[in-house]
Structure 1
Amino acid sequence: MNKGFLVILTFVFGILSAQQNAYYQQFAKYKMDIDVDAPNFTYKGAQTLTYTNNSPDELNVVYFHLYWNAFKPGSMMDQRVQNQGKNGDSRLQINGISRLASIPKGEEGAQNIHWIKQNGKNLKFEVQETIMKVELNTPLKPNSTTTFTMEWDAVIPHQIRRAGRNNREGIDMTMTQWYPKIAEYDYDGWATFDYIGREFHAPFSDFDVSIKIDKDYVIGAGGTLENPLDVKGYDPKANIKADNKNKATWRWTAKNLLDFAWAADRDYTVEEFTILDGPKVYYVYQKSEKTKLWEESKPYVTKFFQLMNAAFGQYVYPSYSFIQGGDGGMEYGMCTMILGEGRSLEGLVGLMVHEGGHSYNQQILAYNESVRPWMDEGFTSYYDDYVMHQLFPPKEPVANPFVGSIKSYVNFTKTGKEEPAVWLADHHDDGRAYSIASYVKGDLFLVQLGYIMGEQNLSLVMKEFYSQWKLKHPTDRDFMHIAQKISGMDLKWFHHYWINTTNTIDYAVKNIEYGTASTTITLENKGKIPMPVDFSVMTKDKKVINYHVPLNMTHTWKSKDIYGNFTTLNYWPWTQKEYTVTVPYTKDQLSVVGIDFSQRMADVNPEDNFVEVK
């Protein structure tokens, strides 16, 4: 082959490869006009959607999510609940029987699309359960914009999961995932997962939403209310502007958000407070004896945002609303829907902290949680443990904030029901297995990394990850790139074992031989996940001496950790089952020898990690 041609070919392929791997994200602008028939729990919608294709691909079809089509007997969500029985999501069933199967005919969820047009021309569309496939008349070329207009009507469903009418605390309407929402398109293609009950994904979008509803209603939403003087609840000087049908129009806007959610009730009270160097916070709830804990929660929510901003990164939106609604707790853009009748202050604050933590993950670091629920739920759970440990310090001292999560994981591994965290969110066969894989193992993914690389390095990783990827759609590969760069370690092995398998960590103190001037300890790897090992001895006078045994696969060793100074020993090859260390202490000098005094390593049999010297 001609050498000059080979150089040109290499150059061209290099450009194509760079284009294929370059990051991009789509963008949308929604302009909606909504007219709510509150007595009949229906509404009419008109929408103009301006959609920008920032990808290098020409698009011939687009997809929309129609989530409410799931809330009816015989839907895919209903089928999944019936097939799983008592192993499924307890909120969707009663004694293993699907709640969706008994939804009354007039209360079935429905999003009836009248028509959709592209630049004024009618489009052919097909509704496939909760997905609408739309064939474009004019292909949408790379780096170009098109406009979709559409009209639809909807039936607000019987409240089963997250959205719907008349929830169990008496909230009239929880309006979440309530409009035809364009699906995300990225390097992996269209994110067109059916709505089976778990997670969501969407492109970042701007919203301008006008909602016409009976003037006696108060609306809580994620966004900025543009006309507080025209509606009820937000400004004492308001002069409600109603039309001849006694309806008021609420206009909400939001920028660079994944979705727009709202709830409406005639008995809502609106309270607000501003956090120094943080967002304005709105509480929208039915104020009563049952919700008295909301008032007590305010200083805790204030500290939550301050802790998050300092430890991980600044909240990027101007406000955040906690809205009483839904069926438990679920995060949306700039707001969350939660049940409000808390039994304890710690329980209510814990729910607020978890859903508020999602605003940093599901909304700002907008993972595809249908594919990687362990990143969204797990990283949020890590924030939970970190923050709640400071808001409600335990009465008895514990080694670290994550001990409870480790115990939950260890106990579940003994059931034999564990499923890999890599599984898609809706495709876990057991509800508890999903929770452990996504919430707990995702949490412990970070805890184990802190153990491997040192907590100072992990803190730098979390801050840099947030800084680089806020308001984008990162993957675990993006996170690992930063983790490896900051730590200098090869960590691919750990990611593989922890996320893709159900292998476990199990180390032990196998043998101790006492000499006249020293003690020789043999450690054993009994598990299937190799790890570096922190090993310590405690002397009779309560002095702790720490040693670090690196794992050869990381190639760079941990140099410091907040749990004490340590001496670094020779590395432990991952193929080697035993490791021997000699310490300059005699039996008479020693009190305890053991692995992981900090109790961060998720060892499934911690009982054999410690030996009391007698």
Structure 2
Amino acid sequence: MIRLPIALAALCLSVSAFAAEPFDDKFRQLDELLPTASTIRTASGAPGHAYWQQRADYTIRATLDEANRSIRGAETITYHNNSPDTLNYLWVQLDQNIYKPNSDARMSATSVSREAWAKPRSPEEGMKFDALRTTFEGLSFDGGFNITNVKSGSRKLAYVINRTMMRIDLPQPLKPGQRFSFDVEWNYKINEQKVLGGRSGFEKFDDKNDLFEIAQWFPRMAAYYDVYGWQHKQFLGAGEFTLEFGDYDVEITVPSDHIVASTGVLQNPGSVLSSAQRERLERAKKSNKPVIIVTQAEAEAAEKTRATTNKTWHFKAKNVRDFAFASSRKFIWDAQGIKSGDTDVMAMSYYPKEGNPLWEKYSTQAVVHTIEQYNKYSFDYPYPTAISVNGPVGGMEYPMISFNGPRPTKDKKTGELTYGKRTKYGLIGVIIHEVGHNYFPMIVNSDERQWTWMDEGLNSFVQTLAQEAWEEQWPEMRGEPRLITDYMKSRNQVPIMTNSESLLQFGNNAYAKPAAALTVLRETVLGRELFDFAFREYAQRWKFKRPTPADFFRTMEDASGTDLDWFWRGWFYTTDPVDVSIDGISEYTVSTQNPEIEKAWRKKLKDAEPMSLTDQRNKGMPRRVDAHPELKDFYNEHDDFTVTNADRNKFNESQEKLEDWEKALLASGKHLYLVDFTNVGGLVTPLVLEIQLASGKKYIERIPAEVWRYSPKKITKLIVTDEPMTGLTQDPFWETADIDQSNNAWPRKATPSRLELFKSERGQGNDMMKDFNAKLKTKEEKAAEGTKQEKDTVPKVQ
């Protein structure tokens, strides 16, 4: 403990240690990284008065050829040029061309390393063999669009296909405010999703039936906007889409025993549904729980026959950016009506019998829950339907409809379908995620081809909020800061602000890290009230518009009233981790300057010191002054701790000069500690300090990240307590994603060894041989238990 003069103690309240190295300003503004604000996109992050975006309306007539697993169709696109630019040509997306053998995606695909191929095959390494099959099947699959006609009225249009993009040359320039209509006829073979992968496709079942999930199935207008012009980056598979909003009028012809789930609202239920199904659908609109529209018995009966005729399902959708559908005779269908603001919504699920009992119990409930929760943090869901479909696609989103994969598995003993915990929460989680994508990016229309995190990261964050509202013991998933620390330790990182096709770890970078960052921002940096207001403001400002990262960053600062440039720079533009170390603590007391107190205190410290070895051995030896008492004087009778009149006079003089605040500080009896912190990781962060006192009391002191502004690597902070401090922990709740907890405490906390953990899990009376023998079960017992164990994978969420 060090005794400080009162003036020096006061000075410590505001002193930080300044680094000797060149100054690295972690709080410099993002001006050099963000685009200059304009009348289109303002400095506040809001759309400006000059904001514009294009529009594309579609009329589509298509037929699903089940026998040949193909689609043919014709569409009329009406393109509205709302930009201030004159356009000489249009770009159209041909996403199915990713399945052409010579596509960029196929030709640029790489293999796993030689070392991986050399290893013996195991179930855990089966992915490399699946990839091999996909490669070979892809070479022989005749996929991609066949464009058979492009015209405007009776006039054929010149066009050029550049892999997954098609340029249409306009007969005359399209001026601002004008619109242009043209027709495209096309067909393509549908991929088997479980073999060739992708975001859509068909699935074969043992009963000889197929289930079709159809998306990216028609030529779609590429986006044209103020930041990038034409967004015509080639589709390679990772970076998804950004599209223009418009109205859709779609007729889909399928076998007459099929049930179709689709974007939009069914226009002709009398032509495609039985009277009983129509009655159930009407009843579902006012039900507070799901109503079965097509029963499992009806679906199973349909599986056993094959229709020889077709039916046409007619759907319309307003103000959507895309259109998808699913079709199968295997579909069970349930629905429930809910209210979203002023909009009546039908939450619906479509699934084969292989999805039960899981889907009937949870799917539509999860759809309803998603809308209720996302409305809280963004805006009221504006569309009339919200659909979850079970099929081969693990998880994929489109306006009003999503494709979701998890299913029960057969019990090896009874043959009954059952599911484990991982499958249950995997299903609920993926439905929340994919239905949540209606908000981000189907309505808040960010550019997924450019920035995956703007839809996946933001959506994963809100997904965690919705999951927490499902039940208290929800298994931790993406969004929890402590779960991103292993990734933030790794060298295999790129900044979040990296183009979609250049991400090294897609799930960690585009989903988990942005979600964790926003959790830190909400819980630790801003607090829930400020964050929720700002996040909702962002969603409200940009619904049915196309925001960029700068619009998000600026809106969050504008609406929260907080400069967050340090946060965006550290979390989104670098790969620096959070790692704060407590490196030293010194206890100080304030000098009273009273000689009676100060000398007694120093004597107490001196007496507490151990006797030196020399003094111990010299104890009792003859001394001259003992043999000659005449040699003793005043200094032998009084030591350095004796209070003299001179000491008292000096003290009395000093007391007359003390100010009131100094007297109050002396009387308070406070304990002062100077604590040294080192920013080992490089990412500046708020300090969350748990302080433990001698009485056992603990409390939290929160210090904003700005504490690092003058010295981003090392700081010293004064902590004042009412009683002696016995312990100090930085980030006690693991809320800042600190990658190394071992340096976060004083005194240092020992990390339990594996043996200690082993003992603690088994409790008293361990019998290690008994535990070992318990594992030696018969094959029959293992097989029975195998049905209860879930495969160690999470359903893929795209």
TM-score range (shorter-chain normalised) is: 0.7 to 0.9
CA contact (8 A) 1:403 1:600 kept: no
Find 1:458's aligned residue among 531, 534, 539. 531
TM superposition shift of 1:227: 0.9
TM superposition shift of 1:283: 0.6
Cα distance in 1 between the residues matched to 2:205 and 2:746: 52
Cα distance in 2 between the residues matched to 1:17 and 1:442: 27
Cα distance in 2 between the residues matched to 1:150 and 1:551: 56
TM superposition shift of 1:543: 4.0
1:94 is aligned to 2:129: yes
Find 2:515's aligned residue among 439, 443, 463. 443
1:152 is aligned to 2:180: no
Match of 1:416 in 2: 491
CA contact (8 A) 1:509 1:521 kept: yes
Find 2:243's aligned residue among 190, 202, 211. 202
In structure 2, relative to structure 1, the CA distance for the partners of 1:608 and 1:368 (3 Å cut) is same
Find 1:57's aligned residue among 85, 91, 107. 85
Total equivalences in the alignment: 565
CA contact (8 A) 1:71 1:158 kept: no
1:327 is aligned to 2:393: yes
Query: Which runs of structure 2 are paired with 1:524-535 in the superposition (5 Å)?
Result: 524-535=678-689
CA contact (8 A) 1:205 1:257 kept: yes
Cα distance in 1 between the residues matched to 2:519 and 2:391: 33
CA contact (8 A) 2:448 2:455 kept: yes
1:35 is aligned to 2:35: no
In structure 2, relative to structure 1, the CA distance for the partners of 1:426 and 1:93 (3 Å cut) is farther
1:281 is aligned to 2:281: no
In structure 2, relative to structure 1, the CA distance for the partners of 1:196 and 1:576 (3 Å cut) is closer
CA contact (8 A) 2:203 2:391 kept: no
Cα distance in 2 between the residues matched to 1:179 and 1:92: 31
CA contact (8 A) 1:36 1:212 kept: yes
Match of 2:452 in 1: 373
SS in 1 for 2:427: helix
Query: Which runs of structure 2 are paired with 1:63-142 in the superposition (5 Å)?
Result: 63-82=91-110, 94=129, 96-97=131-132, 99-103=134-138, 105=140, 107-142=141-176
CA contact (8 A) 1:297 1:345 kept: no
Match of 1:3 in 2: none
Structure 2 counterpart of 1:285, one-letter code: Y
1:434 is aligned to 2:434: no
In structure 2, relative to structure 1, the CA distance for the partners of 1:126 and 1:195 (3 Å cut) is same
Match of 1:7 in 2: none
Give me the identity figure in percent: 26
Cα distance in 1 between the residues matched to 2:247 and 2:200: 22
Match of 1:537 in 2: 691
Cα distance in 2 between the residues matched to 1:408 and 1:472: 33
- Any idea what the Cα deviations from partners look like across 1:198-233, whole Å, max 9, x if unmatched? 212111121100011210111111211111121147
1:161 is aligned to 2:198: yes
SS in 2 for 1:391: coil
Cα RMSD over matched residues? 2.9
TM superposition shift of 1:613: 8.2
Whose Rg is larger? 2
Query: After the TM superposition, which of the residue ranges 403-412 and 25-34 deviates more from structure 2?
Result: 403-412
SS in 2 for 1:367: coil
TM superposition shift of 1:345: 2.2
- Which is bigger in relative contact order (C-alpha 8 A, separation at least 6)? 2
Query: Which runs of structure 2 are paired with 1:156-555 in the superposition (5 Å)?
Result: 156-159=190-193, 160-166=197-203, 171-187=210-226, 188-198=228-238, 199-232=240-273, 236-237=277-278, 246-277=309-340, 279-288=345-354, 290-342=356-408, 343=419, 344-394=423-473, 405-428=480-503, 430=504, 433-450=505-522, 451-515=524-588, 517-539=671-693, 543-552=697-706
CA contact (8 A) 2:80 2:180 kept: yes
- Any idea what the Cα deviations from partners look like across 1:43-62, whole Å, max 9, x if unmatched? 22111111101111111111
- Any idea what the Cα deviations from partners look like across 1:373-431, whole Å, max 9, x if unmatched? 111111111112212122132289xxxx7887433321123331112222211223x3x
Cα distance in 1 between the residues matched to 2:478 and 2:741: 12
TM superposition shift of 1:85: 6.7
CA contact (8 A) 1:234 1:270 kept: no
Question: Quick check: which one's strand share is greater?
Answer: 1
Cα distance in 2 between the residues matched to 1:519 and 1:19: 52
In structure 2, relative to structure 1, the CA distance for the partners of 1:422 and 1:404 (3 Å cut) is closer
TM superposition shift of 1:66: 1.1
In structure 2, relative to structure 1, the CA distance for the partners of 1:245 and 1:148 (3 Å cut) is farther
Cα distance in 2 between the residues matched to 1:222 and 1:384: 22
- Any idea what the Cα deviations from partners look like across 1:99-146, whole Å, max 9, x if unmatched? 1432374x4322111121235422111111111111111111112111
**Ranges of 4+ aligned residues in structure 1 off by more than 6 Å:** 84-87, 401-404
Q: Which runs of 5+ in 2 are unaligned?
A: 1-36, 42-47, 117-124, 280-306, 409-418, 590-670, 750-798
In structure 2, relative to structure 1, the CA distance for the partners of 1:468 and 1:487 (3 Å cut) is same
SS in 2 for 1:81: coil
Cα distance in 2 between the residues matched to 1:233 and 1:348: 30
Q: Which runs of 5+ in 1 are unaligned?
A: 1-15, 239-243, 553-570
CA contact (8 A) 2:406 2:427 kept: yes
Query: After the TM superposition, which of the residue ranges 531-540 and 267-276 deviates more from structure 2?
Result: 531-540
TM superposition shift of 1:296: 3.6
CA contact (8 A) 1:113 1:151 kept: yes
In structure 2, relative to structure 1, the CA distance for the partners of 1:613 and 1:271 (3 Å cut) is same
Cα distance in 2 between the residues matched to 1:271 and 1:298: 7
TM superposition shift of 1:504: 1.9
